[in-house]
Amino acid sequence: MFCARVRVLCSTSKFWSLGRKQPAREFTIAIDGPAASGKSSTARAVAKELGFGYIDSGSIYRCATLLALRQGIAADKIDEHISELASLISEASMEIRIQKDAGRHTIGLAAAAGRLVVPGVQVLLNSEDVSKEIRTPEVNRLVAKVASDRSVREAVLHMQRALAAAAESSSTTIRQKGKDIKVPGGVVMDGRDIGTTVFPTAELKIYLDASPMARAIRRWDELSNQVKDAAKAKRLSNSRNTGGAGDGQSTKPAVTVQADYPSVEDIARELEQRDYQDINREHSPLRIASDAVVIDNTNLTFEQQVYSIADLARERMGLERKHDD
């Protein structure tokens, strides 16, 4: 087993390092489900709705995977190098920063429609911003393998609990129907085993799902929008460097959009393989907790799923629902 030194910097600017006593959490929302089912974007939007903290537990496993890749550990050699990987993680520091502006998940979706804006997340590994690098195809291919190791999971479990304690918002008092009501502090965490292993007593557990094709199309949309945005940014910067696009000298685009992202079918295959590994591993496999509320969002809008989860949480906290329609 290894123990990682983790630092988390959250929206409330609370700073925490492993080893400090963990305060008891007041209201925890666990969101689990298969890959690309909408967990992290929904979790962030719900956290924003309720004023809660947020932890993306997948990013911890992704950072562990990035460390393995940078060390040149091959996918089929992970088992042999697990203690090496363990000590690498134990020497690492990790920060999760919640940003106020829209993150990668809102590109082309809620932000474009001017509706729900989801905060972004910045992940720092040893002070380096690895937010993009932990989502490359190489990390996608290896992460489920790294996450299947028991010693990795044990270490990450401690981190998850500690990070949640640090990210949790403070309780407040509001006035409803002429009465003062205490609103508990809370945290939303998404992953695969949050409701079953990490927080088995969470006050609200959600299992988010969508059809495999819907999930693959959404992830493809996300990727293609990222590529288009990057190309647009490059075009803008090129046009600035060459005196501006509006100078009438050239109608040719400065760069061509490269179709260097995978097809929907490729993505569907990758998601299916990762889900298979996550469901069939020995330690903390992806399961629906017996007391989880299952939401299939294949035909739901993003807003519908966020508002229904936020209202479920409000109900369980003894507060009024906000989005009855």
Ligand X SMILES: Nc1ncnc2c1ncn2[C@@H]1O[C@H](COP(=O)(O)OP(=O)(O)O)[C@@H](O)[C@H]1O
For every residue of 104-139, DSSP letters joined together read: GGGTTTHHHHTSPPPEEEEEEETTEE-TTGGGSHHH
Of 48, 62, 105, 135, which one interacts with ligand X (CB under 6 A)?
A: 105
Under the binding rule (CB under 6 A), the answer on residue 61 touching ligand CDP is: yes
Of 8, 9, 26, 37, which one interacts with ligand X (CB under 6 A)?
A: 37
Helix (H) or strand (E) holding 102: strand 94-102
- Binding flags for ligand CDP, 23-42, as an x/- string (CB under 6 A): ------------xx---x--
- Binding flags for ligand X, 192-221, as an x/- string (CB under 6 A): --------------------------xx--
Beta carbon of residue 215, minimum distance to ligand CDP (angstroms, whole number): 9
Inter-helix orientation angle 264-280/137-147, to 10°: 10
Span between the terminal Cα atoms of the chain, in Å: 50
- Cα 10 to Cα 121: distance, rounded to the nearest angstrom: 10
Under the binding rule (CB under 6 A), the answer on residue 109 touching ligand X is: yes
Residue 193 interacting entry, from ligand CDP, ligand X, none, C-beta within 5 to 8 Å by type: ligand CDP
Nearer to ligand CDP, 148 or 184 (CB): 148
For every residue of 32-88, DSSP letters joined together read: E-STTSSHHHHHHHHHHHHT-EEEEHHHHHHHHHHHHHHTT--GGGTTTTHHHHHHH
Q: Which region among 55-63, 99-107, 115-123, 295-303 touches ligand CDP (by CB under 6 A)?
A: 55-63
Beta carbon of residue 286, minimum distance to ligand CDP (angstroms, whole number): 7
Torsion of CA 278, 305, 40, 188, to 10 degrees: -100
Sites of contact with ligand CDP (CB under 6 A):
35-36, 40, 57-58, 61-62, 143-144, 147, 191-194, 274, 278
